[in-house]
Amino acid sequence: MPQSNPQKIKTIFIGTSKLASSILLKLIEEKYQIVAVVTKPDRKIGSKSKRQLAENPIREIAVKNNIPLLQPEKINLDFIREIKNLNPDLIIVTSYGKIIPEDLLNIPKYHCLNVHVSLLPKLRGASPVQNAVLEGLNETGVTIMKMDIGMDDGDIIAQEKIKIKENETAEELSARIFPFGAEKLIEILPNWIEGKIEAEKQNESEATFCKILKREDGEVDWNKSAQEIHNQFRAFTPWPGIFTFWNKDKNKKIRIKLNFIKIYKEEVLSKNLKSGEVFKENKKVLVNTKNGVIEIIELQSEGKKVMRAIDFINGNSDFVGSVLG
């Protein structure tokens, strides 16, 4: 094979998340010459007496495979100089969480490529999988992109669509889409290196951006439809999770985490309920919404253990008939 032989391509991988590790592992499996792995600095977690390094699968893979590991606090001139000295042909970036400056982008002759898990220019930003589920999309995909100084606005090298299953959570979709992206990357790299692929500019008029996720985004608005609330649950599982408030009495407002919900598709006999009103039917705990009904299967009252909703109301009969929110 000519110079596209992966064993001759000096590659640097930049990433942090557990899901990004599927891409690094695929590069190792295909015998790309990885001259360095770059990931975020180590962080310690736990109490003062039991502090330990937070899990970082990227770091662990690099150590296990004897690949030089770089963990800069900042991407400064010294770090860029270190990368230049490695003389990489190619840099692959995914789920790193830091801006890559232009001086670093310009180093490799085959450019810095980003594996982004959306169909760009749709859903630019840091949480495309969660946002695709939150928006109730039926499909999303993977984009291999030539990186630019803007946020996910570089020229597109390749794209591949993937269907989103009806009840799939963001966590489940992520577990499918990152390995899917790894396969796509390996498929196109030889042709990219040989100059057989011409990158195409994104259509800026079609660009959309991810909502930045915060803990408070998990609060349920019962004035939304059952489908919107279920999409919120799917998108925010496991983090930040979804929750609501139960006004147990005038002086006590209890935070209730909704660990497992689904859309109740059977015909509801109860009528004229308020949005957020809890009722019981067919031995199920249900909540009315603006359009449709949500079934609560598991919940967690503040400071308590996770419980089946039907068991929770056995000890909290006044939950039924209350209006959540």
Query: What is the average pLDDT score of the chain?
Result: 93
- Per DSSP, the three-state class of 182 is helix
Q: Mean pLDDT throughout 237-246?
A: 96
Residue 282 pLDDT exceeds 50: yes
Write down the pTM of the prediction.
0.92
User: Which fold would CATH assign to domain 215-319?
Assistant: Methionyl-tRNA Fmet Formyltransferase; Chain A, domain 2 (3.10.25)
Q: pLDDT grade, residue 159 (50/70/90)?
A: very high
Where in the chain are the domains? 6-206, 215-319
Q: pLDDT grade, residue 43 (50/70/90)?
A: confident
Q: Is there a contact between 221 and 325 (Cβ–Cβ < 8 Å)?
A: yes
User: Which fold would CATH assign to domain 6-206?
Assistant: Rossmann fold (3.40.50)
- What would the two tokens of residue 42 be? 């180590």
Beta partners for residue 34, in sequence order: 11
Q: pLDDT grade, residue 22 (50/70/90)?
A: very high
Lookup result for tokens 């999770």: 241
The pLDDT score that the predictor gives to residue 4 is 55
Residue 1 pLDDT exceeds 50: no
Residue 223 pLDDT exceeds 50: yes
- What would the two tokens of residue 196 be? 């057989």
The pLDDT score that the predictor gives to residue 152 is 96
- Host H or E run for residue 258: strand 252-264
- Host H or E run for residue 62: helix 57-64
Tens of pLDDT, residues 183-211: 999 999 999 999 999 999 999 999 999 99
Q: Mean pLDDT throughout 306-315?
A: 96
The pLDDT score that the predictor gives to residue 5 is 74
Residue 48 pLDDT exceeds 90: no
The pLDDT score that the predictor gives to residue 7 is 64
Q: Mean pLDDT throughout 312-325?
A: 95
